[in-house]
Structures are given as C-alpha cells and as structure tokens.
Amino acid sequence: MGFKCHQCSSVGNGTSEEITMHWLFTTLIIFVCTTGYSQLHPYDLLIKHGRVIDPASKIDSILDVAIAQGKIVKVGRGIAVTESKKVIDARGLIVAPGFIDIHTHVFVGATPGVFADGIYSVSADDFSFKAGVTTVVDAGTSGWRNFQTFKTNVIDKSQTRILAFLNISGVGMSGDPGQQDVSDMNARETALTIKNNPEVIIGVKVGHFEGSDWTPFKRALEAGTIAKVPMLVECHLPKYSLEDQLANMRPGDIITHAYEKIDERMSVIDERGQVRSYVLQAQKKGVLFDVGHGGYGFWFSEAIPAFQQGLAPNTFGSDLHRFSMNSGMKSMLNIMSKYLNIGMEIPEIITRASWNAAQSIKRPDLGSLRVGSVADIAILSVLQGKFGFVDAGGNKIEGTQKFESELTLREGKIVWDLNGLAAMSLQVKH
C-alpha cells in the first residue's frame, strides 16, 4: 500500500518502517522550522516609539515595549522590528498600563429594576476596552448570597478582568427592602466569601442604607478587618455625617463620589468655597478619595476647588452603570480628560488610572508595564481642539485637549483598535 504525505508531498511504498521514519523526519523538520521562527521572532508584538508612561517603574520616555505569551518581556530602546511577529508604530502616542476602574456596576442580568443580576448594571466588555480600561472593580453589586451567580454568569465569561468589592448586604444591590435589612448584614459570611475568592474579591462595601443605625458600617468594617481588605464607602448614607464617615474609616479605606453635591451627603467644599479641614486631614491620614462620577457623584463646583486646594482624587472610578454612561460621565477616559483640562499633568493622570488604582485594591501585580507583568496596555492619543465636558449637574467646562483610546491590549491580545493601528492596510481606488 503506497502513501502520500500531506505535509511534504512525498510518496512512498508504505512499509511500516518507511512510514515511521518518514513521520519522524517530517516532525523533526517542522520542530526545527518552528523553533527557528520563534528564535528569529521571540516577541508576539512590539510597540515601537511610543511615549511610555509607567508610574510604577518611574518611566516617562520614548521606548519600545515587547510582548510574548501575554506578558511584557522587554521595555527598552531600539528593539529590532525583525524580532517580532507583529509591530505597532506608536509614534506620537502614549503607551500606558491598562487602566483600572475601581467603581463599576457590572453584575448584569435580566432582572428588571435592580443592579444585582439586573438590567441597571452593564456588561463590562461593552465599555471597558474602548476607554483603555482592562480591569474593572464591581462596587458591591453582589453580596455573599449572590456572589457565586455573579462569578459564574459574568466574571468567568468576560474578557475584561473583573474584580469585586462584596456588599455587606447579603443580597447586594437587589433593591429595597433586601438591601436595607440589617439582620442580613453578616460580617462573618461576608469575610468568609472574600477569603474563599481571593483572586476576585478585593474588598467590602457599605452604601445605599437609609437608616441612622451604624450597624451596617460597623459590620462592613468588621468583615474588612477579618478578611484584611479595604472598605469602600459608597455613600447614599443620608443619616451619617461626612465627618463621622471619614473619622470611622481606616487608612487604605476608600470613599467614592468624592465630589458630589447632593442633599444626601455634605459636600467636601464648605460655604466659603474651602475644602473642609477634616476632609484634608482624612486624606492625610490615608483615606483614599475616588471620583465615582456616576450620575450624581461629580460636580465641577466641588472638584475644581478641591483640586486647586490639594484634594486631588487618588483614583478615577467611573461608577459605570446604565444611567451614567450616556450622561456627563461617559467613560473613565472622559473623567481623565476632565482632569487634563482642569490642570492635572498627564503622568499624574496615568498614575491615578493605573498604579494608584492597583495599589488601592492591593493588587500590585496589576497597573504597571514592568517586565513579567501581564500585557494589559492602553495606547492613547491626545486630541487638540475644542471640547465640552459635562458634570453630574449638567454644567459644562470647555477644554482644548481630550484623550482618545487608540488601541487596547488585554493579556497581549488586541481587544480594541480604533484606527486600525495593528490592521493590514488596503489601497482604496477612487
């Protein structure tokens, strides 16, 4: 019986020894060729000539970044294009660690009228990459009773890395009366769920409580202390004073909606336009201030004087959900553009969007471009022109610069490419 090899097209008589020797030889040739190709092209992707800003490494310079097998393997000058299978020319663009949005609501599901497993949350992948965001942190949309549903249905199925603060309310943001039920705010069950999911749950959250009883706050603190994680205070706690909230927070705990101006919470700016002294002291103590823009959480009348008087946000959490994304908030990148036009320097903005955010959730393995890190990368342009930026109160400032997300990598894979930086060029005849 004769045979024809489909790999080398040779033809033989077909004795068993001949077939065995032939396959061994062919396999060896393929191995040598593949190995040779990999040695010639050790990198899967090379980003050339970008302005690399990596706050964790204190780098802000024109450099190349090489990626292999989903990781950053080299950052330096003059890396040869011949060493990579694919090359992106990032001349004139910023190359930064993929951004971390520490305040989102992404426990999306089909339940009407609620955030937990409901239609008020949004799908992370639909919004993250186009804003340069590669990691989102869900702000307590789930509690210990429904976290597993969140993990199974959403977290494990998303390309975006999804981490979570666990709500002290057992049912998370399932609406009233469930989330008001103090008897279902169980510090031990919450801490146990956090400890059993250390790769995903990075903290505990308290918020959306209308009573004056401090039990929810104390239980959240207790769960955070047992599980050794930070606490996120999401306000909507109308009966607690701002001063008392800050006084009861530990260094490393996070207050979000930092610059809101609504009835339910005293604003950080007083009647004379000054940042309240106890607010500045809280930040000095180590309490972290997150923007938490959302639908109501960011007002220029608070954020601008706060920034000018030294109360800059530590992070740019967006409070992404169904109602904020089409309002003044839009995306975390839009918040970053607001700060660019308020007067924050670009490296300071990148720091808050990446390395600060990683540190605030105690994940120093994220938010940097260090060799060995996962290749989560945001490539940005800075557009020049005339732009309008809108806050939660419908107020506008005009600006001349705006960030645009050009290309996003998640674990080395291109997940967003606005203008085809990595695509093949075609000639179009007119």
CA 203 from chain center: how many Å? 15
CA 346 from chain center: how many Å? 18
Nearer to Zn ion, 84 or 174 (CB): 174
Alpha helices in 248-385 (DSSP H): 277-285, 300-308, 332-342, 346-353, 355-360
Q: Residue 389 corresponds to which tokens in the numbers above? A: 């930026």
- Binding to Zn ion in span 61-100, by CB under 5 A: none
Pairing between strand 94-97 and 99-104?
Answer: unpaired
Distance linking the first and last C-alpha atoms of the chain: 58
Nearer to Zn ion, 134 or 167 (CB): 167
> CB neighbours (10 Å) of residue 320?
30
Nearest distance from C-beta of residue 289 to Zn ion, angstroms: 15
Query: Does 392 sit near Zn ion (CB under 5 A)?
Result: no
Nearest distance from C-beta of residue 39 to Zn ion, angstroms: 50
Query: Does 101 sit near Zn ion (CB under 5 A)?
Result: no
Backbone angles phi, psi at 248, to 5 degrees: -90, 0
Stretch that binds Zn ion, among 137-145, 193-201, 353-361, 382-390 (CB under 5 A): 137-145
Closest CA to 206 of 143, 265, 259: 143
Nearest distance from C-beta of residue 105 to Zn ion, angstroms: 6
The residue nearest Zn ion at its CB is: 319
Nearer to Zn ion, 263 or 398 (CB): 263
Nearer to Zn ion, 39 or 326 (CB): 326
Nearer to Zn ion, 136 or 306 (CB): 136
Nearer to Zn ion, 44 or 101 (CB): 101
Closest CA to 392 of 332, 311, 343, 330: 330
Nearest distance from C-beta of residue 67 to Zn ion, angstroms: 33
Nearer to Zn ion, 65 or 139 (CB): 139
Stretch that binds Zn ion, among 76-84, 131-139, 221-229, 410-418 (CB under 5 A): 131-139
> Are 316 and 411 in contact, with CB atoms under 8 Å apart?
no
Nearest distance from C-beta of residue 255 to Zn ion, angstroms: 12
Tell me the number of residues near Zn ion by CB under 5 A: 2
Nearer to Zn ion, 274 or 327 (CB): 327
> Are 129 and 417 in contact, with CB atoms under 8 Å apart?
no
Angle 126-123-128 (CA atoms, 0-180°, nearest 5)?
45
- Binding to Zn ion in span 253-292, by CB under 5 A: none
Cis peptide before 177 (omega within 30 of 0): yes
Query: Does 319 sit near Zn ion (CB under 5 A)?
Result: yes
Rounded-to-integer distance, Cα 23 and Cα 320, Å: 56
Per residue, the 3-state secondary structure of 20-35, as one string, reads HHHHHHHHHHHHHHHH
Nearest distance from C-beta of residue 107 to Zn ion, angstroms: 11
Contact track, Zn ion, 139-178, x by CB under 5 A: x---------------------------------------
Residue ranges binding Zn ion (CB under 5 A): 139, 319
